[in-house]
Amino acid sequence: MYTDQITLQGLLPRVQYVYHCGSTQGWSRRFLFRALKNGPHWSPCLAVFGDIGTDNPRALPRLCSDTQQGRYNAALHVGDFTYNMDQDNAHVRDKFMNLIEPVAASLPYVTCPGNHEDRYNFSNYKARFIMPGDSEGLWYRYTSFSITAPPGRETVSLAGERPPGNLWMSPLDLDDCTWYESKVRRGLLGKFYELKDLFYKYGVDLQLWAHERSYEHLWPIYNCHVFNGSREMPYTHPRVPVHIITGSAASRGCEKRLTPLTLFPRPWSVVRIKEHGYTRLHNLNDTRVHIQQVSDDQVSEQWPNHLPE
C-alpha cells in the first residue's frame, strides 16, 4: 500500500470538488469533498470519537453514512486506532485506513495519538497522518471551525488522550473517570505530572478524551471540586474545564469489552452511557456548543454547553 501526500490550492469556500491522488505506480479512486466556509460566522458540526479499529467497529457504518449525507464539517479522532497500528507488520493499520476512507477522504480528518499508537516511538502514526505544526502531528494547535476564544483562553484544547509522554484522562484503567485528573506520565512506570493547573490557568473550556470505552460527561471540575456556572445553567460561564469522554465507537472482540461502569459514580459525573456510539459537536456560535451522543440508531443524550465569554 502506498501513502501519497498532495496539497490542493486555490479552493473556494463551500465548493464541492472531485479529486484523486497517486502517481505512475497507481491511482486512487475518485473522492468528493466540500471546502470549508471562511470566516467566523457559520456553525460547523463535528463528529468526535475514539477507540475504533478493524475488530467490531460498531459505530463506523452510521458514521460513514452521516458523513456521506453531509452532516459533518470535520471528524476528530481522539486517539486509539486499530488495536494496534503496528500489528501484522502494520497491515492492520492499512486495513483500518480502508475502513475509515469514506470519512477521512470526505472531511478534514483531525487525529491525535493514543496509547495504541506508541509502539516504535509512534512511527506508524507519524507515517500515516499529517497534522499541523512541526511536532510530527503528535501535538499541535490549530484555529478553525469558527470556534473563537477570547484573548488568553483556549476554547477547545486537547482533543485526545495519551500523546507522547502519555497524556492520560485517568492514571488507572479502572472505569469511567473514577480518577478524573489530567496527568502526564513519563515512561510505563514513570512519575506522573499534573496538568490540570495548566489547563485552568489558560482557560481551557472543553476537553475531549477517549481511551475508556464508554461515554461520560462531567460537571465543570477543577481540583476535585465542581464549579457549575449556576444551579439552573451549570454550563454557562463555568470558569473551569468541562470533560467529555467518548471512546465507545468500537470495542475489541464483543460488547463485553466496553468499559465497566462503577456502581456509585463520583459527584462530578453527570451522565454515563455504556453503549457503542460517538459524539456530535455542533458549534452554534462563539459561546454556545450543542452536544449529542448517538448510540446505534437513536440519540442517547443531548445537552447544550455554554462556553465562557
CB burial of 192-214 (b: ≥16 within 10 Å; e: otherwise) equals: eeebbeebbeebbbbbbbbbbbb
DSSP secondary structure, 160-224, as one string: SS--TTTEES-SS-SSSSSS---EEE-STT--EEE-HHHHHHTT--EEEE-SSSSEEEE-SEETT
Instruction: Give the largest Cα separation in the chain, rounded.
Output: 63
Alpha helices (H) in the chain, listed in sequence order: 60-68, 87-104, 119-128, 196-201
Cell of 73: 464539517
pLDDT at 188: 47
Cell of 295: 448510540
pLDDT at 72: 94
Query: What secondary structure letter does DSSP report for 13?
Result: T
pLDDT at 147: 55
Cell of 9: 490550492
| Antiparallel, parallel or unpaired: β 74-78 and 109-112 | parallel
Domain regions of the chain by residue span: 1-35, 40-306
Sign of CA dihedral 227, 238, 215, 49: negative
Phi first, then psi, for residue 48 (nearest 5°) are -125, 130
Phi first, then psi, for residue 160 (nearest 5°) are 165, -175
Measuring CA to CA, which residue among 118, 200, 205 is closest to residue 164? 118
pLDDT at 2: 63
pLDDT at 165: 28
CB burial of residue 134 (10 Å; 0-12, 13-18, 19+): exposed
pLDDT at 257: 67
* Angle in degrees, 0-180, between the axes of helices 87-104 and 119-128, rounded to the nearest 10: 30
pLDDT at 79: 84
pLDDT at 162: 33
Helix (H, G, I), strand (E, B) or coil at 98: helix
40-306 has which fold?
A: Purple Acid Phosphatase; chain A, domain 2 (3.60.21)
3-state secondary structure 283-299: EEECCEEEEEEEECCEE
Query: What secondary structure letter does DSSP report for 27?
Result: E
The answer to whether 232 touches 197, Cβ cutoff 8 Å, is no
User: What is the radius of gyration, based on Cα positions, of the chain?
Assistant: 19
Measuring CA to CA, which residue among 7, 286, 285 is closest to residue 130? 7
Q: Which residue numbers in the chain have pLDDT < 50? A: 157-181, 185-189, 254-256, 297, 307-309
